Amino acid sequence: MKLLFVADPLHTFKTYKDSTFAMMREAARRGHTLLACEPRQLVWQRGGRVTARGAVEIRLTGDAHDWYTVTATADVALADAGAVLMRKDPPFDPEFFYATHLLSQAEREGARVFNKPGALREHPEKLAILEFPEFIAPTLVTRDPAEIRAFHAEHRDIILKPLDGMGGMGIFRVKDDGLNLGAIIETLNRDGAQTVMVQRFLPAIADGDKRILVIGGRPVPHCLARIPQGGEVRGNLAAGGKGVARPLTARDREIAEALGPILAARGLLLVGLDVIGEHVTEINVTSPTCFQEITDQSGFDVAKMFVDALEETLK
């Protein structure tokens, strides 16, 4: 089967930890043909179909640095691929949004796209948690600085973050003394022009911000706890957090088994739930990661579970 990966440039992959690479490696092991393109290569013209201009067919070399060779280059109609995997990293900016519309058109032409592009649009990673209030901490979404100040007055220790951030970018903690709250609001809120998410600070972050992967509606049995280092409040690996694989707790399973089937039914084959303590903080759907870290530390083959689920869905 031909699998087309819509992703960041191949030369930027850090193969020792890249989850898309892990998917590719497992798919190649099973004999699938690997194709790749970037979102900017997606083209549609009246009378034709959504096409990846100059998509490359690649073969994995097994080398850690020169990890692939291009065996062919061609224009590929997405509907002619066995499956299209949208693996472009965040942020979910206007170009990502436009790419999902091209992918939706490709679906109308017969393409099978994972995660489903309509579901990507309907589940912004910060705001998707609002649907599940029973699993989240006290949370506020607003443009109004007065609302943020009132939330801080009630909860005393809070986290503020932009809705379009990734990798821990732009996250601030304000403690009981309210130090720099005004400046932080101005930075994130931009004089009322930008919506901000505010959450009660969860002390359990000291034990890690857990990434729980859910594949085909079922949780991977181990999560990756991303533990803040050096006085940081952020556990994100991109912010210097230390990743430690752990078996899911009973609460982790409760959350994953409640949300997983709902999200899978909407076309989200792969989801990354971020959990601190007993609370969901984000629902990641664009390009969830941590496959290799979990596999390397726990021995559970996440990529195998993913490709199993993909093949089952395509039957």
Q: Which residues are catalytic?
A: 126, 161, 211, 226, 234, 274, 282, 284
For the record, the structure tokens of 166 come out as 């990734």
Q: Which of 275, 277, 278, 280 is nearest to 290 (CA)?
A: 275
Q: Is 307 helix (H, G, I), strand (E, B) or coil?
A: helix
Residue 67, amino acid:
W
Rounded distance between C-alpha atoms, residue 64 and residue 142, angstroms = 45
Rounded distance between C-alpha atoms, residue 297 and residue 174, angstroms = 34
153 contacts: CB under 8 Å, gap ≥ 6: none
Q: What is the DSSP string of 5-36?
A: EE-S-GGG--TTT-HHHHHHHHHHHTTPEEEE
φ, ψ (nearest 5 deg) of residue 61: -95, -20
Rounded distance between C-alpha atoms, residue 198 and residue 140, angstroms = 5
Q: Is 195 helix (H, G, I), strand (E, B) or coil?
A: coil
Place of tokens 């694989």: 245
Place of tokens 């942020």: 91
For the record, the structure tokens of 229 come out as 């280092």
Question: Longest Cα pair distance anywhere in the chain, in angstroms?
Answer: 62
222 contacts: CB under 8 Å, gap ≥ 6: 245, 246, 247, 248, 294, 297, 298, 300
